């Protein structure tokens, strides 16, 4: 049986000690969310996830969602788990009060997303998608649509989907074929086939609200000619469901490597009635807006599955005995020592733990920046926008790559048991593998970072990042206990600046150079950001110890910071060499010999 203890203490530390969210809440008009309220919400959500979502996870994998005669049936325990969260009003946590929401700060979603993902990633996807659909409707749809759909979707009574991908158009959405024909009453008839659509058909809610990308007649070529439409499964009148089906049919679901509980559907629209959301031909812009939140939520998948895999493999390792400590037998009364005496076992476990906790800190920071972006003053908004723009592709790509590496290491550290279904860890490895693919592949995230985000506004985004980083290093320069973190951090920040200049200068003349180096550049960037997070966390722990607080939590954090700076950050040396070596060896290899 899989175990999971939501990392509540770590979130308390991050929210209150590292990022001081209560000060931010007061400044941004979230006064109702004081420390007690935030902590209570996190604890209650954690409890709900442990008691209802976690037990259903294995059903998602073994029973899966099944397809018969156009209908998708989820495992029975999914309904119990989903309904428990809907009845508690949890999905509307960050929604507007007028739609039944609490208007809670957005950073709270990080903890909620992570606990949900660790407990049942397949089920968590529908909640994350529905939140994105709610945001699109409430921010960009006409009032009539807001009145009909926003509250139902906010509360999770109706679910939402994102319909972008078509059989011939995945990354390259500019070539989609789905069409929208304007009607005299202001609606549109949508026709086309979408594939790979998550939870496009299911039995968890009475209606499903699809956000569909399609092209209007005579629209411009490419992504500038795509519009966004709201297309419900059932048409509704004044928010009440009518049984009138809307020409939306599911013709099958995919067999997949993992995430069996989350149905991946082929969805056909046959003159389905829909309504434009936002302006004509602005569909991609709106989708990208929604994706800031979705990409952070996807990054949380790497962290959530890395965490639950770590907890379960650690539990197993604590009981496993093999071999003897190389420095001499540890446990004379047993035939073998615990495998935790072996440096290589510790290397694997601690690497996972350090990457999980560093990525969690980065995700939390991005969560708070989304609040600054939403409610900050004009200066705060500019700063937050620059940072969110840079850090979103990093958290999406780096945290999900690390999630794959972490779940793989968690199998490895368990030996053969890790490969066996009985212990549950192999499911996390299979489930997390989608995260680097969807919401824009990690390759595309890296191109976005290297090709657009760092060059945008003549490098202004990067300057917004360098200020707090260099300021932090300067502030801590004279602290003897901090120098083992700030010195390597400084070297890597300088390295990042040099690599960025190289990417821009070489990339301008030769886009293949930039594209060939983008993934390694993103990993270098990601590691440097985690180094910043680890140095920040170490600073808080050192200050607490100086103030006389004796707490093993701080001791463990500082020891883990040492793991990060000695075991993980040095990877940047190799990554820098790869960025510098560019693209020639890749592009000169003859295609016919591939
Ligand atoms: C389980 C699952 C659930 C999904 N859920 C949804 C959903 O709910 N809604 C939805 O709309 N879609 C969904 N998708 C689709 C998903 O977003 C796409 O699979 C993803 O965007 C990649 O598109 P593709 O599969 O067509 O790959 P392709 O676009 O064919 O890419 C293949 C490879 O080529 C690379 N590549 C492509 N173009 C470029 C380029 N210009 N430069 C460099 N490299 C490039 C990619 O990085 C990738 O490695 C889902 C997919 C899966 C498997």
The residue among 456 and 22 whose pLDDT is bigger is 22
Round to whole Å and give the CA distance between 105 and 26.
Answer: 11
Tens of pLDDT along 209-234? Answer: 999 999 999 999 999 999 999 999 99
**Mean pLDDT, the chain, integer:** 96
Extended beta strands in 537-584, E state: none
Confidence tier at 244 by pLDDT (50, 70, 90):
confident
Q: Length of the chain in residues, anyone?
A: 594
Specify the residue for token string 């103030």.
Answer: 547
* Closest C-alpha among 66, 215, 504 to residue 496: 504
Output Rg (C-alpha) for the chain, integer angstroms. 24
* Contact call for residues 123 and 82 (beta carbons, < 8 A): yes
Tens of pLDDT along 22-51? Answer: 999 999 999 999 999 999 999 999 999 999
Q: Is the pLDDT of residue 292 over 90?
A: no
As given in the structure block, the two tokens for residue 568 are 């993980």
Q: Is the pLDDT of residue 238 over 70?
A: no
* Closest C-alpha among 525, 502, 516, 359 to residue 449: 525
Our CA angle for 141, 295, 355, nearest 5°, is: 160
Is residue 441 lining ligand 1, measured as CB closer than 6 Å?
yes
Task: From the CA of 254, give the closest atom in ligand 1.
Answer: 1
Instruction: Sort strands 264-277 and 226-232 into parallel, antiparallel or unpaired.
Output: antiparallel
**What pLDDT is attached to residue 237?**
66
> Count of alpha carbons within 13 Å of 125, Cβ hemisphere only?
23
Task: From the CA of 256, give the closest atom in ligand 1.
Answer: 1
Cα of 536 from ligand 1 centre, angstroms: 35
Q: What is the CB neighbour count within 10 angstroms for residue 69?
A: 4
* Contact call for residues 235 and 305 (beta carbons, < 8 A): no
DSSP 169: B
H or E, element range at 448: helix 442-448
Round to whole Å and give the CA distance between 291 and 294.
Answer: 5
Is residue 444 lining ligand 1, measured as CB closer than 6 Å?
yes
Give the residue numbers marked as catalytic: 439
Strand, coil or helix: 171: coil
Round to whole Å and give the CA distance between 509 and 515.
Answer: 12
* Contact call for residues 24 and 371 (beta carbons, < 8 A): yes
Strand, coil or helix: 272: strand
Strand, coil or helix: 435: coil
Cα of 441 from ligand 1 centre, angstroms: 6
Strand, coil or helix: 211: strand
Strand, coil or helix: 479: coil
Strand, coil or helix: 226: strand
Tens of pLDDT along 435-449? Answer: 999 999 999 999 999
Q: Which residues on neighbouring strands pair with residue 250, listed in sequence order?
A: 267
Tell me whether residue 8 is exposed, middle or buried, using C-beta atoms within 10 angstroms of its C-beta: 0 to 12, 13 to 18, 19 or more. Answer: middle
* Contact call for residues 358 and 530 (beta carbons, < 8 A): yes
Global pTM value: 0.97
Strand, coil or helix: 73: strand
* Contact call for residues 214 and 190 (beta carbons, < 8 A): yes
Task: From the CA of 169, give the closest atom in ligand 1.
Answer: 26
Q: Is the pLDDT of residue 256 over 80?
A: yes
Round to whole Å and give the CA distance between 534 and 18.
Answer: 11
Q: Is the pLDDT of residue 473 over 60?
A: yes
**What pLDDT is attached to residue 69?**
96
Best residue among 165, 175, 295, 396 to mutate for probing ligand 1's pocket (most ligand atoms within 8 Å of CB) is 165
DSSP 255: -
Best residue among 177, 438, 586 to mutate for probing ligand 1's pocket (most ligand atoms within 8 Å of CB) is 438
DSSP 260: T
Q: Which residues on neighbouring strands pair with residue 213, listed in sequence order?
A: 228
Q: What is the CB neighbour count within 10 angstroms for residue 322?
A: 13
Q: Which residues on neighbouring strands pair with residue 188, listed in sequence order?
A: 182, 274
- Those residues whose C-beta lies under 8 Å from the C-beta of residue 184, and which sit 6 or more positions away, are none
Cα of 436 from ligand 1 centre, angstroms: 10
Q: Which protein residue's CA is at the shortest distance from atom 14 of ligand 1?
A: 196
Confidence tier at 458 by pLDDT (50, 70, 90):
confident
As given in the structure block, the two tokens for residue 278 are 């936002």
Q: Which protein residue's CA is at the shortest distance from atom 2 of ligand 1?
A: 196
> Count of alpha carbons within 13 Å of 281, Cβ hemisphere only?
8
What number is the average pLDDT over the span 11-21?
A: 98
**What pLDDT is attached to residue 359?**
98
Round to whole Å and give the CA distance between 561 and 477.
Answer: 17
Cα of 50 from ligand 1 centre, angstroms: 32
Instruction: Sort strands 264-277 and 248-253 into parallel, antiparallel or unpaired.
Output: antiparallel
What number is the average pLDDT over the span 413-436?
A: 98
Give the largest Cα separation in the chain, rounded. 85
Strand, coil or helix: 279: coil
What number is the average pLDDT over the span 268-287?
A: 96
Tens of pLDDT along 531-577? Answer: 999 999 999 999 999 999 999 999 999 999 999 999 999 999 999 99
* Closest C-alpha among 404, 394, 384, 496 to residue 445: 394
DSSP 433: T
Round to whole Å and give the CA distance between 444 and 124.
Answer: 24
Tens of pLDDT along 110-157? Answer: 999 999 999 999 999 999 999 999 999 999 999 999 999 999 999 999
């Amino acid at each position: 049986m899989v175990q999971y203890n939501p990392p509540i203490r770590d979130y308390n530390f991050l929210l209150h000690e590292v990022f001081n969210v209560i000060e931010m809440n007061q400044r941004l008009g979230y006064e109702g969310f004081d420390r007690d309220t935030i902590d209570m919400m996190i604890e209650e959500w954690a409890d709900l996830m442990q008691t209802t979502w976690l037990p259903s996870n294995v059903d998602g994998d073994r029973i899966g969602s099944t397809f018969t005669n156009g209908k998708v049936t989820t495992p029975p325990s999914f309904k119990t788990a989903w309904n428990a969260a809907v009845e508690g009003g949890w999905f509307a946590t960050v929604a507007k009060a007028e739609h039944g929401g609490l208007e809670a700060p957005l950073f709270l979603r990080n903890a909620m997303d992570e606990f949900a993902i660790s407990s049942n990633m397949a089920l968590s996807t529908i909640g994350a998608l529905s939140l994105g659909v709610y945001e699109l409707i409430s921010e960009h749809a006409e009032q009539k649509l807001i009145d009909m759909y926003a509250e139902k979707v906010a509360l999770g009574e109706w679910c939402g989907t994102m319909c972008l991908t078509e059989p011939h158009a995945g990354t390259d959405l500019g070539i989609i074929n789905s069409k929208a024909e304007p009607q005299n009453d202001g609606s549109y008839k949508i026709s086309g086939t979408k594939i790979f659509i998550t939870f496009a058909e299911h039995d968890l809610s009475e209606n499903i609200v699809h956000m569909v990308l399609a092209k209007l007649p005579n629209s411009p070529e490419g992504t500038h000619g795509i519009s966004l439409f709201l297309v419900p499964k059932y048409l509704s009148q004044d928010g009440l469901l009518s049984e009138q089906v809307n020409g939306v049919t599911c013709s099958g679901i995919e067999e997949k490597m993992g995430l069996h509980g989350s149905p991946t559907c082929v969805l056909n629209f046959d003159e389905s009635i829909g309504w434009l959301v936002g302006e004509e031909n602005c569909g991609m812009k709106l989708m990208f807006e929604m994706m800031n939140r979705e990409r952070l939520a996807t990054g949380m998948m790497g962290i959530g599955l890395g965490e639950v895999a770590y907890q379960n493999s650690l539990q197993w390792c604590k009981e496993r005995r093999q071999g003897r400590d190389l420095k001499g037998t540890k446990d004379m009364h047993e035939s073998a020592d615990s495998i935790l005496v072996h440096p290589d076992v510790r290397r694997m476990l601690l690497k996972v733990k350090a990457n999980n906790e560093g990525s969690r800190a980065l995700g939390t920071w991005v969560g708070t920046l989304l609040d600054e972006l939403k409610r900050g003053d004009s200066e705060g908004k500019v700063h937050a926008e620059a940072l969110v723009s840079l850090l979103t592709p990093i958290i999406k790509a780096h945290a999900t790559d690390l999630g794959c590496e972490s779940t793989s290491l968690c199998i490895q550290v368990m030996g053969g048991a890790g490969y066996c279904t009985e212990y549950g860890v192999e499911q996390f490895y299979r489930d997390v593998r989608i995260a680097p693919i969807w919401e824009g592949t990690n390759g595309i995230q890296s191109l976005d970072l290297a090709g657009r985000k760092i060059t945008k506004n003549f490098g202004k985004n990067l300057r917004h990042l360098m200020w707090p980083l260099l300021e932090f290093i300067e502030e801590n320069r004279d602290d003897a206990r901090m120098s083992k973190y700030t010195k390597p951090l400084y070297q890597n920040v300088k390295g990042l600046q040099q690599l960025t200049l190289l990417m821009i200068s070489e990339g301008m003349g030769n886009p293949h150079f930039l594209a060939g180096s983008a993934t390694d550049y993103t990993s270098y960037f990601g590691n440097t950001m985690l180094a910043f997070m680890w140095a920040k966390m170490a600073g808080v722990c050192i200050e607490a110890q100086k103030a006389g607080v004796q707490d093993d939590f701080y001791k463990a954090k500082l020891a883990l910071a040492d793991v990060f700076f000695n075991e993980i950050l040095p990877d940047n040396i190799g990554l820098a060499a790869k960025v510098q070596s560019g693209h020639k060896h890749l592009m000169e290899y003859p295609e016919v010999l591939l």
